[in-house]
Structure 1
Amino acid sequence: MNGIHDMGGLHGFGLVDREEDEPVFHSYWESRVFCMTQVLDTQQVWNLDEHRHEIELMNAADYLTAGYYGRWLFAMERLLDRKAILKVHEVQRRVDELNVGAATLAPADGGPRGWPLPEEQKVRWGAWRHEMSVTPRFAVGDKVRVRNIHPEGHTRVTSYARGKIGVVDRVNGEAWVFPDTRAHCRGECLQSVYGVRLCATDLWGPQAEPNTWVFIDLSEDYLELT
C-alpha cells in the first residue's frame, strides 16, 4: 500500500539527527514493548509481514510522532484485539486504573478469548527462507523492470523503484516467502529473490549523484523482463 511509511526519496523531513552514544532505549516503556513483542513472536500469534502491515495502517501524523517502539505498540494492540486475545477496551481500562484507581472502575468483561491459540491458527514469525530450491525466472545480467504496482495491502517494493529498469546483479535461488501474500494469510508463495542494480539518476533524476548505483533486493513477482 502507499503510505507515509514508504518514505524513501521523500523531502521535507529535516536532517537525520545522529545522537552520540545513542542508547538502545530512550525510555523504560520502549524496553517493555520490545520484550513483550519478542515473547509474542515465540507464541506464533502473527508473522513478521502481518506485523509490518499493521504498522502501515497507522494514521500518518501518529506514525511520524509515535517513534519506533510506539509503532510496535500500535501493531501489538491492534493484532491482539483482532485475534480476540486482548481487547483494546481492556488495555484502556488498565490505563484508567493506573490513572484514577481501580476502585472507581467497574470490572471489564473481556468476552470470548482466542487464547490459547489453536494449533491450526499458529503462524511462523520469520522463516523468510526455506531450505529448498525453486527455479529462478531471471538470470544475472537480465534487464528487468520493477512492476508498477499499487496494492491496497502490504508490499515490500518501494514506490521510488516502481516502473524503473535495472539489471539483475545477484540471484538468490532459495525459496523465499513472498511478503505480499503472507501478510494477509494467503500463503507463502515461495519464489526467488534478486539483487537488482539500478542507476541513481534513473531513480532520482539528473540531480542524483552521477555514476552511482542502488542495489535493491526484490521478490520475483515484483519484476518483469523488459
Structure 2
Amino acid sequence: MTRIHDMGGRFGHGPVEPGQPDDPVFAQDWHGRALAVTLAAGALGQWNIDMSRHARERLCPRDYVNFSYYEKWLAGLADLLVETGVLTRDDLRGEGDDAPHPLAARRLRAEAVAGVLARGGPADRPCPAEPAFIVGQAVRAMRPAANRLVDGGHTRLPAYAAGALGYVHRVHGCHVLPDSNAHGLGEAPEPLYSVRFRAGQLWAAPEHPDDEVFLDLWQSYLVPA
C-alpha cells in the first residue's frame, strides 16, 4: 500500500524554498505550541517515535496534502491520544470530565524540557548478529518498498529507491527497526547502512544523473546485488 507522504522524486510540487538565517524559528506562534504539546504528550510514554511518524502518514490523503507541517503533527497526535486511550473524542472537543488523569504524574515539567531535548531518543542498540554487508558492497533495495511485517505498515524505505542499485558507504551498527517498532512488535534491532545511489538509478529524468544520494537503510531493506 502506498501512502501520500512518500513524495520523493515526484514532479509538480515546485522548488524547495530554503529559509533565511534571520527567519524566526516558528513562522507562527501556534507552531511553537504545537511542538510543545507534542513533546509533552510523547513524554507520557504511551507511544514511540515510529508510532508517531506512522500516525502522521496515516492521515487522510486529502488532509495530508492540505495541512501545513504542524497541522499534520497535531492531527497525528490527536489520533494517537485517542487510539492509546489517553484521551477520548469528547476530551478533544472539550466535553470530557475534569477528574485527575491517571498519567498526570508523568507530565513533562517545564524545568525538565531542556534535558529531555538534549538527551534525544537514541535508537542504537547492541547487534544480535554480525552485519551481512560490508563497506563497498553492491546491494539492491527491496522491491516493492513495503513493510514485510505488517501489510500497509510503516517503513523507512522510500518508494523511489525500490529495486535501485547502490553501494554500502558506511555501517552504522544496529538500530531499532521502525517497521516493527511502529506497530508495537518490539524494537527488533538490525544493522543500519548508509547506502550510496546514483541519481540516475533512482529517477528516470534526473537533472544531474551522476549526483549521489545517500540513504540510511536497514538490513532487511537490502539484498546483495
Q: Please tell me the TM-score bracket, short chain as reference.
A: 0.7 to 0.9
Using the size of structure 1 for normalisation, the TM-score is 0.81
Cα separation, 1, equivalents of 2:6 and 2:48 = 20
> What does the per-residue CA deviation read over 1:8-29, in whole Å, with 9 as the maximum and x for residues that have no partner?
0011112333454332222222
SS at match of 2:216: strand
Match of 2:91 in 1: 90
SS at match of 1:78: helix
| CA RMSD in angstroms, aligned pairs only | 2.5
1:201–1:208 CA contact under 8 A, matched in 2: no
Identify which of structures 1 and 2 has the higher relative contact order when contacts are C-alpha pairs closer than 8 Å and 6+ apart.
1
Using the size of structure 2 for normalisation, the TM-score is 0.82
Cα separation, 1, equivalents of 2:127 and 2:159 = 30
Matched ranges for 1:173-184 at <5 A: 174-184=173-183
Match of 1:143 in 2: 138
1:87–1:110 CA contact under 8 A, matched in 2: no
Match of 1:116 in 2: 103
> What does the per-residue CA deviation read over 1:5-56, in whole Å, with 9 as the maximum and x for residues that have no partner?
1110011112333454332222222211111111222221210000000000
SS at match of 2:32: helix
Cα separation, 2, equivalents of 1:77 and 1:206 = 39
Change (3 A) 1:127 1:18: closer
Match of 1:62 in 2: 63
Match of 2:123 in 1: 128
In structure 1, list runs of 5 or more residues that go unmatched: 95-106, 120-124
Structure 1 residue 188 corresponds to structure 2 residue 175: no
Match of 1:71 in 2: 72
In structure 2, list runs of 5 or more residues that go unmatched: 107-119
Cα separation, 2, equivalents of 1:211 and 1:147 = 22
Letter in 1 for 2:85: A
Cα separation, 2, equivalents of 1:127 and 1:206 = 37
Cα offset, 1:65, TM superposition:
2.2
1:86–1:110 CA contact under 8 A, matched in 2: no
SS at match of 1:79: helix
Select the structure of larger CA radius of gyration: 1
Match of 1:199 in 2: 198
The count of residues paired between Structure 1 and Structure 2 equals 205
1:53–1:183 CA contact under 8 A, matched in 2: yes
Letter in 1 for 2:167: V
Structure 1 residue 53 corresponds to structure 2 residue 81: no
1:90–1:110 CA contact under 8 A, matched in 2: no
Match of 1:98 in 2: none
Percent identical among aligned pairs is 35
Cα separation, 2, equivalents of 1:203 and 1:39 = 39
Match of 1:164 in 2: 164
